[in-house]
Structures are given as structure tokens and as C-alpha cells.
Amino acid sequence: MKRPVRPITAKYLQNAATFYLERYPSTAEGLRRVLNRRVSRAEMAQAPVIENVKQAIDAIVAKFVDAGVIDDRAFAQTKARALHRRGSSTRLTRQKLRFAGVDGDTLDKAMAGLDQELDTDPKQREWQAAVALARRRRLGPFRQKDRKEHRDRDLAAMARGGFEYQLAKKVIDAKDPDALDEDQ
């Protein structure tokens, strides 16, 4: 038996936004996309939709921003920090934050804040992220055996992570994990 289609009202959108934000951190643009997807799915299911749905979504997003539930700057800083710890390159971090709906100015401030927080320069931060990725994925000096046979594969993994070839080569070709601490 098929569930009846619920009409899209302002209250429905408000509840959907609340439910989403209870589970996931988001930017204003990210929440706007989620609510628009809900409306699109409802339209495909031929559910009745309020006439001024765009204004209703904008009002709901503004309400959450004004209440402080959505803070793009805090989201960008937290996400940048988490991605750095996981071993994401600056290039990949910027791409992911842009995709999440963070604007360019906020993105630049978040990256500068990350450098300030880590008390490093961008080159040092990139090195730390490359080593973190190699450690997490067991690449290069963190590989237990068959390093030479997997060198190209390891370099490819670093490239997919957004790291420049020279940096990736330096990390992958390190003698052992302790040599990575000395190189920087």
C-alpha cells in the first residue's frame, strides 16, 4: 500500500529543516538545497505545493541563521579542521567547502584561521595533511610490505587527494615514518 502524499506547506518545510539540522551541520546554502530537493521530490510525486515556496524556504533559512543554528563561518572552520586532520589537501578542502555552500570570503577566512590555529604556514599545513593521508591510508613508509610494487598506486592515491606531485613523491619515498618528521 502506497503512503499518501503529504502537501508541502511552510510548517512541513520548517519541520523538515529542523529534522535535518538536528542530524547534520549545514550552511545556509546547504539547507536551502535540502529543502529545494524535498519540494522537487514532492512535485514529482504530484503533491500539492504552496505557491510561494521559494519565499518560504528563504524565510526558514533566514530564521535559522538569525537564531544562530546555522553559522557558515563556524561550519567552514570546523569542516576545514576535520578535513585537515583526515589528510585532505588545501585544494580538496576548498573544493569540498565550496560544494557545501561556503562563499569565497568565508572560505579564505577559514583557511587562514586553520593556519593560525595550527600555528603553521600553508606549506607546513599541506605537508602535515599529506603525512596524515599517508598514515591513514597506509601509503609509502606506512605500508608494511611491497612498497616498491605499490609506489605508483600510492602516488596516484596522493594525487587523488589533491597533493602536488613533488610533495606526494617526497612523502611516498620517505625511508620510514620517522623520516617524515625530520623532512618537513
Give CA–CA dist 107/113, Å, rounded: 10
**pTM listed for this prediction:** 0.80
105-124: average pLDDT:
86
Residue 152 vs residues 70, 143, 163, 165, 169: alpha-carbon distances, Å: 43, 13, 14, 11, 10
Which H or E run includes 182? helix 177-183
What is residue 1's predicted lDDT score, i.e. its pLDDT? 64
Reported as a single tens digit per residue, the pLDDT across 81-95 is 999 988 999 999 999
Which residues face 8 on adjacent strands?
49
What is residue 163's predicted lDDT score, i.e. its pLDDT? 93
What single-letter DSSP state applies at residue 30? H
What is residue 184's predicted lDDT score, i.e. its pLDDT? 58
Residue 7 has pLDDT above 70, yes or no: yes
User: For residue 75, which of 102, 57, 93, 96 has the smallest C-alpha distance?
Assistant: 102
What is residue 14's predicted lDDT score, i.e. its pLDDT? 94
The stretches of 24-164 forming alpha helices (DSSP H) are: 28-44, 53-67, 72-86, 90-99, 104-118, 122-137, 151-160
Phi and psi, residue 143, nearest 5°: -80, 135
What single-letter DSSP state applies at residue 69? S
Reported as a single tens digit per residue, the pLDDT across 20-58 is 999 999 999 999 999 999 999 888 888 888 888 899 999
Residue 73 has pLDDT above 70, yes or no: yes
Domain ranges for the chain: 10-67, 72-122, 131-183
**Residues 73, 74, 80, 83, CA torsion sign:** negative
